[in-house]
Structures are given as structure tokens and as C-alpha cells.
Amino acid sequence: MQEMLYPTAFLKGRGLGASCALITDGRFSGGTSGLSIGHISPEAAAGGPIALVEDGDIINIDIARRSIAVAVAPQTLQRRRELLESGNGYRPVTRERHVSAALRAYAAMATSADRGAVRSLSG
């Protein structure tokens, strides 16, 4: 789960902190400001609904009701889900990065955030 300090700082630096929301399956530190909604789970990498959101989609945020909804027809979301599951949907570019042995071990045994982000030896 990526830390989202840079994107929130970028939005604030561009003067968009009060008019643009950031919705992500990433995590936030104490330095976050503005309308930032994080830790969405299940994560996109685990096939969560956030993986179906595309550029240009309208997302309705109702803070009082504690809800977030993408304003896309259910049929369109289903089509996107089928495309994603067939392997023909969006796939992030693989990036080179150093991952320590400890982090690799944790990733192999940790559950997704929607299941508590705890260690699970059952796989």
C-alpha cells in the first residue's frame, strides 16, 4: 500500500487542495490535507472495485452519509470487471524497486487491508 504524501502535496502546491479530492487504495501519513480518502479496500491489486474506475468517471462523495459511489452504469462496471478478469483490462507498468527480504516475507504472509492487514500463515 503506497504512501500518498507526494500526491496530496502536489495537489496542494497546485492550489487544488480545497477543490480536488484524492481517492486511493494507498495510505496517508499525518501530513495529508484536503479531501483525501485513502485505504480503500479491497485494493485495486486484489481486484477491488477501485480497479474499475477510469479517467473521467464522476465519483460522488457524501461525507454525511459516509459513502463514495462511482456514477457509472452497473452494466459498464460489469463490462470493465470482465475485461479486467480476462487479463485485457488495465495493468500497471511493472517498476524496478528494491524490496527488502523482510518486506517480501511480510507481503507473502499479510492479508489485504479489507481483511485486517494482519499476518496469515494460511495463505
Q: Using 50, 70 and 90 to split pLDDT, how confident is the model at 26? A: confident
- How confident is the model over 10-24, as a mean pLDDT? 89
Q: Is the separation of the CB atoms in 22 and 36 below 8 Å?
A: yes
Whether residue 105 is contained in a domain is answered as no
Asked whether residue 30 carries a pLDDT value surpassing 90, the answer given is no
Residue type for position 53? V
Whether residue 43 is contained in a domain is answered as yes
Q: pLDDT tens for residues 65-110?
A: 999 999 999 999 999 999 988 887 667 677 788 889 998 888 888 8
- Residue 25 sits in which domain range? 5-95
Active site residue 29: yes
**Tally of structural domains, the chain:** 1
The CATH number that applies at residue 56 is 3.50.30.80
Asked whether residue 42 carries a pLDDT value surpassing 70, the answer given is yes
Residue type for position 13? G
Look at phi and psi of residue 84 and say left if phi exceeds 0, alpha if psi is from -120 to 50, else beta: alpha
Q: Using 50, 70 and 90 to split pLDDT, how confident is the model at 123? A: low
Catalytic residue among 19, 29, 36, 112: 29
Distance from C-alpha of 2 to C-alpha of 25, rounded to nearest angstrom = 8
